[in-house]
Structure 1
Amino acid sequence: MRVSTAQFYLQSSQQMSSKTSDVNEQMAYLTSGKRVLTAKDDAVSYGTLAGYKDDLANIEKYKRNITKAESHNNLQEVAFTQLEVILNNIKDQMLQANNGAMSDEDLQAIAKQTRNNLEQLFDIANSQNENGDYIFSGYQTEQQPFSQQTDGSVSYSGDSGVREVQIAKNIKIPTSQAGDAVFMNVDNAIGDFIANDTSNATNPASPLDVTIASANITDRNAYNTSVTPHTFNFDAITNDLTVTDGGGTVVFPVPSVPPAPPVLPAPYVAGQTVSFDGIDVTLSGNPLPGDSFTINEQENVSIFETINNAITWMEQGTGNTNQEQHQVNYNKILDQLSSGMSHVTSRRVDAGVRLQVLESQKSRHLDSALNIETGKSTIEDLDFAKAISQFEQAKIALQASQQAFSKVQGLSLLNYI
């Protein structure tokens, strides 16, 4: 067979290019330390490795989310710790103010300390994170959540949203607690109602001598069909108790059905529980004849309202003419402060539980990543002894090809003359 010079050079070039490619390919395996670099190396293993790499990428994403969630929940836990200290200080100040040896000046000084504590609590409620986002404003992170009005009351401008991040395939965890849930929605210490629109028979400007020890809805269906609000009336002569609904109908004592004789007003007994329209109310104290008050549903009391009530109580000084009612109000405020402290503690516990979950999930991700890396290593790690042998064979083949070309391309007829 006749071989032209051009054909010889083309074939030689292709052969050396192929051998060079083999050497480079073996070099790539040695350099990377991997035996599967592309799908052509091992299609099945390559697909499995792609799944492993996706799993590892997801774990890295979840770990970043865990770090973010830990930062936010740690910040909240610090805030709740500070709130506990402040509320405990205010409770101590209330106990101190109830000492009969205190003068008006002493009470005003304690009230000033309590007002300073309220300002600190207000600052905590408007805390921001390292990015300048408000941590207690729900989804409205750029909106200052709490603002103080001229009358001392505090309003909430955030929302009830709770931000979450995904820390595992099927697990999301909150990174925030809404300000209304933390500061505004503290359980009412006496239950589901508060007494207002009060009046005193002998002095309308004076508080009542009777108070609500507890008031709870025991039958929601019966309460929902009732006409609210309900008013407690004490007879001007006998001091017997009657309760009427918002339409003026007597609901306690329970009215008789004709032709039975009508039910007379019930004699008031301190500590008695009055039941009507799905509500149980326990009263304490000794009302004056003709006293009356109305109850309205209020399940929650804000922390700010409770502290403002404490300050008002202190600022009344020692000149209060109705000491019995003054003490009743003191007990109510103290009970509500205790409820607020329990509420903040429960919020701190929530943050602590989340941190425990995050720590546990972080450990799981580390274990999962280790298992995936082990499986990935088993599939793709290179057998260096075998790879070096194959590299040397490819290199020898390339060198042989180069030497053959060098010898053959130098031949001519002159060599045989």
Structure 2
Amino acid sequence: MRVSTAQFYLQSSQQMSQKSSDVNDQMAYLSSGKRVLTAKDDAISYSTLAGYNNDLASIEKYKRNITMAESHNNMQEIVFADADLILDKIKSDMLLANNGRMSSEDIQSLAEQVKSNFSQLLDLANSQNENGDYIFSGYQTQQKPFSQNVDGSVTYNGDSGVRELQVAKNINIATNQAGDAAFLKVENAIGDFTANYTANTSGVAVESAKITNRDNYNSSALPHDYTFTFDAITNDLTVTGSAGVVFPAAPYTAGQTISFDGIDVTLNGNPLPGDSFTISEQEEMSVFDTINNAIAWMEKGSVSVNQEQHQVDYNALLNQLSSAMNHITSRRVDSGIRLQTLESQENRHLDSALNLAKGKSNIEDLDFAKAISEFEQSKLALQASQQAFSKVQGLSLFNYI
């Protein structure tokens, strides 16, 4: 068989190229410590590893989201804890101001302290995170959520948006609490209505006023404002709504509950003939409004034109302050529950990542002893091929003449 010089060189070149490629592949396995680098190494294992890598990448993304969610909720939890302390101070000042031995000057000093506490609470409600975003503005993170008006009232400038981050395949965790839900929507201590005792002079008070039959209430005349009047002679109670009398004149007994338009109202105290007051629908009350009302109550001083009414207002304010404290505590609890959920989910991700890493390792980790042996064999094969080519290429017929 005749073998041309060109054919010899081509075959030798291909053979050495293949041997060199084998050596390079073995070096790549050894340097990476992995036995599966491409699909040609092991198609089934390569596909399985792709699944492992995707799952591990998702876990890393979830862990980053958990870190962000923990940061946001931790900050809110701290704000609510501070707000709770401020409200507790205000309540203590209210209790102190109701002490009969306090002078008007003493009570004015307490009122100034409460004003200072009010400013601190407003600052907390306008808290910003490390990026300068307002944490209680809903989706409007660049908008300062609360601003105080000239009359002392507070306006909310944010929205009700709640941002979420995905921390697991089917689990999203809220990263914020909107300012209106946090500071404005406090449950009314007496129910669904607020009382206005402007014309009252005797100390009668509304203990509770709740809607018990929504259908009857919704079908009643608007607006839902009701006037309670005690007859100037008989002292019988009559309730008048927008469409006229809704509760005909009847004897009044302290502590009784009367019903009309789907509403149950429980009254307490002993009114004088001719007394009257009104109630208007208000299911929720702002924390800031409650504090402003407390300040106004204090600024009346120790001497009030109507001490009985002054005490009724005091009791109502104290109850609403307690409701505000409970509300802030529940907001803090919500943040705490989210933090617990995040911690639990993070631990699950750590366990999952560990199991995935073990499964991935079982498939792709290199058997170094076997790989080194194969590398040495491939290297020897390449060297032998190179030596054979070197010797054969120098031969000619002149060596045998």
Interval containing the TM-score (normalised by the shorter chain): over 0.9
**AA aligned opposite 1:354:** R
Partner Cα separation in structure 1 for residue 83 and residue 139 of structure 2: 22
Q: Verify the 8 A CA contact 1:231 1:246 in the aligned structure 2.
A: no
Q: Does residue 400 of structure 2 align to residue 406 of structure 1?
A: no
Q: Verify the 8 A CA contact 2:136 2:178 in the aligned structure 1.
A: yes
**AA aligned opposite 1:41:** D
Provide the residue aligned with 1:218 in structure 2: 212
Partner Cα separation in structure 1 for residue 37 and residue 226 of structure 2: 80
Where does 1:18-417 land on structure 2 (aligned, <5 Å)?
18-196=18-196, 198-200=198-200, 209-227=203-221, 228-248=224-244, 250-253=245-248, 265-417=249-401
Provide the residue aligned with 1:204 in structure 2: none
| C-alpha deviation, 1:237, in angstroms | 1.4
| C-alpha deviation, 1:268, in angstroms | 1.4
| C-alpha deviation, 1:233, in angstroms | 1.8
- Unaligned regions of 5+ residues in structure 1, if any? 201-206, 254-264
**AA aligned opposite 2:120:** Q
Per-residue CA deviation, residues 61-106 of structure 1 (Å, 9 max, x unaligned), is 0000000000000000100110011000000100111111111110
Q: Verify the 8 A CA contact 2:203 2:311 in the aligned structure 1.
A: no
Partner Cα separation in structure 1 for residue 327 and residue 32 of structure 2: 58
Q: CA-atom RMSD, angstroms?
A: 1.1
Identity in percent: 73
**AA aligned opposite 2:235:** N
Name the SS of the counterpart of 1:309 in structure 2. Answer: helix
| C-alpha deviation, 1:197, in angstroms | 7.7
| C-alpha deviation, 1:289, in angstroms | 2.1
Partner Cα separation in structure 2 for residue 222 and residue 392 of structure 1: 92
Partner Cα separation in structure 1 for residue 153 and residue 333 of structure 2: 28
Farther off after superposition, 230-239 or 42-51: 230-239
Per-residue CA deviation, residues 162-201 of structure 1 (Å, 9 max, x unaligned), is 111000000000000010001000000011001238425x
Q: Verify the 8 A CA contact 2:255 2:268 in the aligned structure 1.
A: yes
**AA aligned opposite 2:85:** V
Partner Cα separation in structure 2 for residue 92 and residue 197 of structure 1: 25
Q: Verify the 8 A CA contact 2:189 2:319 in the aligned structure 1.
A: yes
Per-residue CA deviation, residues 345-375 of structure 1 (Å, 9 max, x unaligned), is 1110110111000000000000000000000
**AA aligned opposite 1:141:** T
Farther off after superposition, 380-389 or 115-124: 380-389
Farther off after superposition, 188-197 or 86-95: 188-197
Provide the residue aligned with 1:262 in structure 2: none
Partner Cα separation in structure 2 for residue 126 and residue 285 of structure 1: 41
**AA aligned opposite 1:378:** N
Number of residue pairs the alignment of both structures matches: 399
Name the SS of the counterpart of 1:199 in structure 2. Answer: coil
Partner Cα separation in structure 2 for residue 307 and residue 80 of structure 1: 16
Name the SS of the counterpart of 1:107 in structure 2. Answer: helix
Q: Verify the 8 A CA contact 2:195 2:277 in the aligned structure 1.
A: yes
TM-score, structure 2 length as denominator? 0.97
Partner Cα separation in structure 1 for residue 6 and residue 36 of structure 2: 38
Per-residue CA deviation, residues 124-155 of structure 1 (Å, 9 max, x unaligned), is 00000000000001111111010000000001
Name the SS of the counterpart of 2:166 in structure 1. Answer: strand
Partner Cα separation in structure 1 for residue 149 and residue 197 of structure 2: 23
Q: Verify the 8 A CA contact 2:202 2:308 in the aligned structure 1.
A: no
Q: Verify the 8 A CA contact 2:36 2:46 in the aligned structure 1.
A: yes
| C-alpha deviation, 1:320, in angstroms | 0.5
Q: Verify the 8 A CA contact 2:160 2:178 in the aligned structure 1.
A: yes
Partner Cα separation in structure 1 for residue 398 and residue 39 of structure 2: 52
Farther off after superposition, 282-291 or 383-392: 282-291
Partner Cα separation in structure 2 for residue 160 and residue 308 of structure 1: 24
Q: Verify the 8 A CA contact 1:161 1:178 in the aligned structure 2.
A: yes
| C-alpha deviation, 1:11, in angstroms | 1.2
| C-alpha deviation, 1:245, in angstroms | 2.1
Partner Cα separation in structure 2 for residue 289 and residue 144 of structure 1: 50
Per-residue CA deviation, residues 256-281 of structure 1 (Å, 9 max, x unaligned), is xxxxxxxxx21111111111111110
Q: Verify the 8 A CA contact 1:198 1:208 in the aligned structure 2.
A: no
Partner Cα separation in structure 1 for residue 227 and residue 363 of structure 2: 79
Partner Cα separation in structure 2 for residue 215 and residue 393 of structure 1: 92
TM-score, structure 1 length as denominator? 0.94
Partner Cα separation in structure 2 for residue 96 and residue 211 of structure 1: 22
